[in-house]
């Protein structure tokens, strides 16, 4: 068969999916099975914003492990609360900040400002001045903001001491009579993050704490069943297949209890059916997907989603250079050469060496790659780059998917 015939055959072959995006981590569903209690607690905490707006600053901290629904619950709450607030004549805007990416106070405040449509100078203002500018603009527009700081652990770690956090939670202390228009949701995987704060600040957080526990197999079945109906064509996946995935990951069956991992297995099982040209998702597809979907790779998804386009290109270049060399580490120069070729392929202008080095160091700090100085087995002194937290083939596929979504 010619290349054209092969490609044409793939493009024209039917798929079990009608909308694969319904299984992606960034999809925000209309319903949240088994997170109704947490939604009610959020609503109770923010109820004063509706009936006595401006009188107090609402603050909540959400605690739970990976894949327990914290992020999606916050997003669903923010979307729904904003709609309901409008019916009460109140303008409320929800802004979600990923603190894995925005770790400093200025980065957080710039992200918040962009989410609210507020323009702040890129330089020249202190964090306090930036916060004051946002508060003034909210007042001018007669708006309220609910700001969710996701992966809050990283913000605390990156900001030694409690000063930046204290600045946020006590934003209105100097002006007690001013309307409180900034409200906060903190999202963290563990309460240990509070131990890094001073007693006054940590006590502040403990007043409104919402816990998220790992999902059981029965709970995961409900979640997967609902998403499968949205993502797959009718009749291509049986309940037994969905139940098998739920059993593999349910916390009561010694699984991770992570909905994120269970959904990852479901989407990979569907892809397995497509690649084999079958019109149904089988248990064998699930077994194949379960081997492929490692928890560490699913968790890495959150990290690589936060990377810039050129960081993703560099990560892909690292993967390709490592695969070619078949060694645990490669020189940064080899990565940079691969990166420049990828930039040409994707129609991007490559960054200069200094910026490339900075990107590599940033990804090292985010634990996406590892670096060390060359020694035995390498000529001269050079920075070496490696990856040990995911299989290279799977990581390569994931990065390419993300780049294709971003760059078309």
pLDDT at 375: 61
Q: Does the pLDDT of residue 35 top 80, yes or no?
A: yes
The rounded distance, in Å, linking the Cα atoms of 33 and 259 is 11
Give the other-Cβ count within 10 Å of 343's Cβ.
Answer: 18
Residue with the bigger pLDDT between 254 and 211: it is 211
pLDDT at 380: 57
Q: What is the mean pLDDT of residues 246-275?
A: 93
pLDDT at 193: 75
pLDDT at 212: 98
Cα–Cα nearest to 38, from 167, 215, 232, 163: 215
The band of 191, judged by pLDDT with boundaries at 50, 70 and 90, is confident
| Percent of the residues in the chain that have a pLDDT greater than 90, as a whole number | 62
The band of 115, judged by pLDDT with boundaries at 50, 70 and 90, is very high
pLDDT at 118: 93
The band of 372, judged by pLDDT with boundaries at 50, 70 and 90, is confident
pLDDT at 10: 63
pLDDT at 164: 78
The band of 38, judged by pLDDT with boundaries at 50, 70 and 90, is very high
| Strand order across the 330-331 sheet | 330-331, 383-386, 370-373
Among 40-54, 264-278, 388-402, the least confident range: 388-402
- Note the pTM of the prediction, 2 decimals: 0.75
Is 356 exposed, middle or buried, given 0-12, 13-18 or 19+ CB atoms closer than 10 A? buried
Q: Does the pLDDT of residue 165 top 60, yes or no?
A: yes
Q: Does the pLDDT of residue 276 top 70, yes or no?
A: yes
The band of 130, judged by pLDDT with boundaries at 50, 70 and 90, is very high
pLDDT at 163: 74
Q: Number of helices and strands (H, E) in the chain?
A: 17, 8
Q: What is the mean pLDDT of residues 148-169?
A: 81
Q: Tens digits of per-residue pLDDT, 317-346?
A: 999 999 999 887 899 999 999 999 999 999
* Four-CA torsion 99, 104, 106, 107, nearest 10 degrees: -40
Instruction: Give the chain's mean pLDDT.
Output: 89
Q: Does the pLDDT of residue 354 top 60, yes or no?
A: yes
Q: Tens digits of per-residue pLDDT, 356-371?
A: 999 999 999 888 898 8
Give the other-Cβ count within 10 Å of 56's Cβ.
Answer: 12
pLDDT at 125: 87
Give the other-Cβ count within 10 Å of 105's Cβ.
Answer: 21
The Cα-based distances of 236 to 103, 109, 276 in angstroms read 43, 46, 14
Q: Positive or negative, the Cα torsion across 297, 300, 305, 309? A: negative
pLDDT at 317: 97
pLDDT at 148: 98
Buried b (16+ CB within 10 A) or exposed e, 277-311: eeeebbeebbebbbebbbbebbbbbbbbebbeebb
What DSSP designation does 367 have?
T
Report residue 59: phi and psi, to 5°. -140, 135
What 3-state DSSP class applies to 201? helix
pLDDT at 12: 60
Cα–Cα nearest to 192, from 148, 168, 147, 157: 157
Cα–Cα nearest to 332, from 359, 308, 309: 359
Beta strands 144-150; 92-98: pairing state: parallel
pLDDT at 160: 60
The band of 207, judged by pLDDT with boundaries at 50, 70 and 90, is confident
pLDDT at 68: 97
Q: Tens digits of per-residue pLDDT, 7-20?
A: 766 666 789 999 99
The band of 29, judged by pLDDT with boundaries at 50, 70 and 90, is very high
């Amino acid at each position: 068969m010619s290349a054209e015939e092969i490609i044409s055959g793939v493009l024209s072959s039917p798929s079990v999916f009608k909308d694969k995006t319904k299984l992606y981590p960034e999809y925000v569903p209309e319903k949240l099975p088994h997170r109704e209690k947490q939604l009610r607690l959020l609503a109770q905490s923010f109820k004063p914003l509706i009936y006595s707006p401006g009188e107090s600053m609402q603050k909540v901290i959400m605690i739970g492990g990976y894949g327990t629904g914290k992020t999606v619950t916050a997003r669903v709450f923010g979307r729904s609360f904003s709609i309901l607030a409008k019916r009460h004549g109140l303008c409320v805007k929800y802004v979600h900040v990923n603190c894995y990416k925005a770790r400093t106070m200025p980065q957080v405040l710039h992200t918040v400002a962009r989410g609210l449509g507020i323009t702040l100078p890129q330089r020249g203002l202190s964090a306090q001045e930036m916060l004051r500018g946002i508060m003034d603009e909210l007042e001018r527009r007669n708006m309220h903001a609910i700001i969710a700081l996701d992966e809050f652990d990283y913000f605390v770690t990156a900001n030694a001491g409690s000063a930046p956090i204290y600045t946020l939670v006590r934003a209105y202390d100097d002006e007690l009579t001013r309307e409180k228009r900034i409200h906060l949701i903190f999202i963290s995987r563990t309460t240990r993050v509070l131990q890094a704060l001073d007693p006054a600040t940590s006590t502040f957080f403990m007043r409104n704490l919402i816990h998220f526990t790992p999902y059981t197999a029965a709970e995961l079945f409900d979640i997967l069943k609902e998403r499968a109906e949205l993502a797959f064509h009718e009749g291509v996946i049986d309940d037994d297949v969905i139940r098998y995935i739920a059993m593999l990951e349910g916390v009561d069956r010694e699984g991770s209890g992570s909905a994120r991992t269970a959904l990852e297995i479901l989407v990979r099982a569907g892809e397995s059916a497509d690649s084999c040209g079958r019109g149904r998702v089988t248990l064998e597809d699930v077994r194949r997907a379960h081997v492929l979907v490692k928890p560490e790779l699913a968790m890495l998804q959150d990290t690589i989603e936060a990377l810039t386009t050129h960081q993703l290109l560099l990560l892909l270049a690292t993967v390709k250079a490592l695969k070619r060399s078949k060694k645990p580490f490669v020189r940064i120069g080899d990565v940079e050469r691969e990166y420049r070729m990828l930039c040409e392929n994707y129609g991007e202008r490559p960054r200069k060496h200094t910026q490339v080095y900075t990107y590599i160091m940033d990804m090292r700090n985010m634990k996406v790659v590892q670096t060390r100085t060359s020694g035995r087995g390498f000529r001269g002194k050079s920075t070496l780059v490696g990856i040990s937290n995911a299989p290279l083939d799977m990581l390569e596929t994931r990065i390419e998917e993300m780049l294709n979504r971003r760059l078309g």
